[in-house]
């Protein structure tokens, strides 16, 4: 039944009349808007009800292989691409597919059988101890991680990672909270310092050390070791060593009666609740033979002046500004939404990535026509083998914060943009635009400055349409 006013006209007739008058140029208080249609109890015309096409519709086409933020846009990725593929009938893990949309529907440029280059710490076994926990990602979890391995560790207030040492060098980044580190150097020098979020430490192979959570919430940090075969279980631990040494020998070593050692721990303590420490001045050893280390085992990475780019910022820490770190170099990178860590490669080491926040996709070019795309979320680890071309694209709505870590003394990379600009124009155009001189000229005018921009934010007029803007 149509609604009518006192003059017997239906709502549709009134609206149509108003729109007609509006189109004739007469000023009337009637708007051609969704609200007016809805108030009149009418269906919206097609121009207001146009649906946005999902990139996972069977008839969707995308010749540019745009990124899709399946998490941010609450989409369920399906294996459809440019008229190929079909639906899924069997079991389907929706959450995992949202985290890796480019595995479900790879770009058309992917090809070959490049091995897996992604692992999530969420899939690593957690070892739970008194007041703390630890989990690791090594070559056993991620087969491509042959140069570096990592441990994610949490220590509550006052909790100690007991005195120990490793065959491998240990590089660490404080993810949150505060931590005290102690060590002695190769010459017997004593070292102590308190670190906070964004600080680093590095202990060379064999250097004995300890870690203790400070402050109300203790600490959480990322440990990186310069051998992918590292295992946290293979650490040399003080209590474990003494538990497997005859007490008569221990007594001789320390020149004390064997009874003094009657109640030593029977096995490793590993992580345990300790006493709340005082300040460094209160706690530092003061014995006759104690001497202060001349080495600095820590570095304030986030206090470095960042290298600002058009789409973010970069901080590089290697042996040039952290001299003790002879086997591990790293970059802390921020990539703003819409920006990209430019196409590049590293000639001296595999790239080991850890994602702290944001959502990213990386395509790895492995030569021989082989390439594969991976997506990353916070807590994920990524590998890019040395010399393989790649980029890091921010596909989400918040900045990416990530660490690029290398088994090397110096950070080195080659920029594709810079390489093009530093190569003769004819050489570049003949390679890429032999049959398209007009666009060759456009390309050359862009790259000829050869200005390296590690994190690039494209000009707005050159941006590719976002998934949510694609219409039927």
- Distance separating alpha carbons of residues 339 and 342, to the nearest angstrom: 9
Tokens in use for 433?
A: 């635009």
- Report d(CA 236, CA 259) in Å as an integer: 25
**123 near 152, Cβ under 8 Å?**
no
Annotated catalytic residue within 141, 404, 441, 469? 404
- Using left for φ > 0, alpha for ψ between -120 and 50, and beta otherwise, residue 78 falls in beta
CA–CA gap between residue 62 and residue 205 (Å, rounded): 51
Give the Cα separation of 286 and 291 in Å (integer). Answer: 9
Residues written for the chain: 472
Task: Tell me if residue 393 is catalytic.
Answer: no
* DSSP line for 417-470: HHHHHTS-HHHHHHHH-TT-HHHHHHHHHHHTT----SEE---GGGPPPPGGG-
95: which 2 tokens? 């959450």
| Alpha carbon distance 389, 42 (integer Å) | 56
The b/e string for 3-39 (b: 16+ C-beta within 10 A; e otherwise) is eeeeeeebbeebbeebeeeeeeeeeeebeeeeeebee
Catalytically active residues, by annotation: 404
């Amino acid at each position: 039944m149509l609604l009518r006013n006192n003059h017997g006209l239906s709502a549709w007739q009134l609206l149509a009349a108003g729109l007609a008058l509006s189109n004739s140029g007469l000023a009337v208080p009637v708007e051609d808007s969704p609200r007016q249609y809805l108030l009149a109890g009418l269906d919206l015309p097609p121009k207001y009800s146009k649906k946005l096409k999902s990139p996972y519709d069977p008839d969707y086409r995308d010749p540019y292989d745009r990124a899709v933020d399946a998490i941010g846009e609450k989409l369920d990725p399906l294996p459809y691409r440019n008229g190929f593929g079909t639906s899924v009938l069997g079991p389907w893990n929706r959450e995992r597919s949202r985290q890796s949309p480019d595995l479900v529907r790879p770009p058309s440029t992917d090809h070959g059988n490049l091995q897996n280059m992604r692992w999530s710490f969420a899939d690593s076994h957690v070892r739970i101890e008194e007041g703390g926990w630890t989990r690791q990602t090594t070559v056993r979890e991620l087969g491509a991680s042959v140069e570096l391995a990592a441990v994610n560790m949490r220590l509550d207030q006052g909790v100690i990672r007991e005195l120990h040492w490793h065959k491998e060098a240990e590089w660490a980044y404080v993810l949150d909270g505060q931590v005290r580190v102690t060590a002695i150097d190769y010459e017997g020098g004593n070292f102590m310092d308190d670190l906070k979020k964004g600080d680093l430490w590095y202990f060379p192979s064999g250097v004995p050390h300890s870690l203790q959570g400070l402050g109300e919430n203790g600490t959480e940090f990322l440990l990186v070791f310069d051998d992918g075969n590292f295992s946290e279980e293979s650490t040399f631990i003080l209590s474990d060593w003494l538990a497997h040494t005859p007490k008569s020998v221990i007594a001789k070593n320390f020149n004390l009666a064997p009874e003094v050692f009657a109640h030593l721990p029977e096995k490793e303590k590993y992580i345990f609740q300790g006493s709340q420490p005082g300040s460094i001045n209160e706690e530092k050893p003061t014995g006759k033979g104690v001497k202060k280390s001349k080495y600095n085992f820590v570095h304030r990475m986030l206090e470095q002046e960042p290298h600002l780019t058009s789409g973010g910022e970069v901080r590089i820490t290697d042996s040039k500004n952290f001299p003790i770190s002879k086997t591990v170099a790293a970059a802390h990178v921020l990539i703003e939404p819409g920006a990209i860590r430019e196409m590049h490669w590293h000639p001296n080491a595999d790239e080991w990535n850890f994602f702290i926040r944001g959502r990213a996709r990386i395509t790895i070019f492995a030569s021989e026509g082989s390439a594969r795309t991976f997506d990353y979320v916070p807590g994920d680890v990524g590998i890019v083998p040395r010399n393989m071309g790649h980029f890091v694209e921010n596909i989400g709505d918040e900045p990416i914060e990530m660490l690029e870590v290398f088994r090397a003394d110096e950070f080195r990379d080659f920029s594709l943009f810079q390489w093009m600009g530093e190569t003769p124009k004819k050489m570049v155009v003949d390679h890429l635009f032999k049959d398209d001189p007009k666009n060759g000229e456009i390309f050359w005018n862009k790259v000829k400055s050869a200005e390296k921009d590690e994190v690039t934010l494209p000009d707005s007029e050159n941006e590719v349409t976002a998934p949510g803007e694609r219409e039927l």
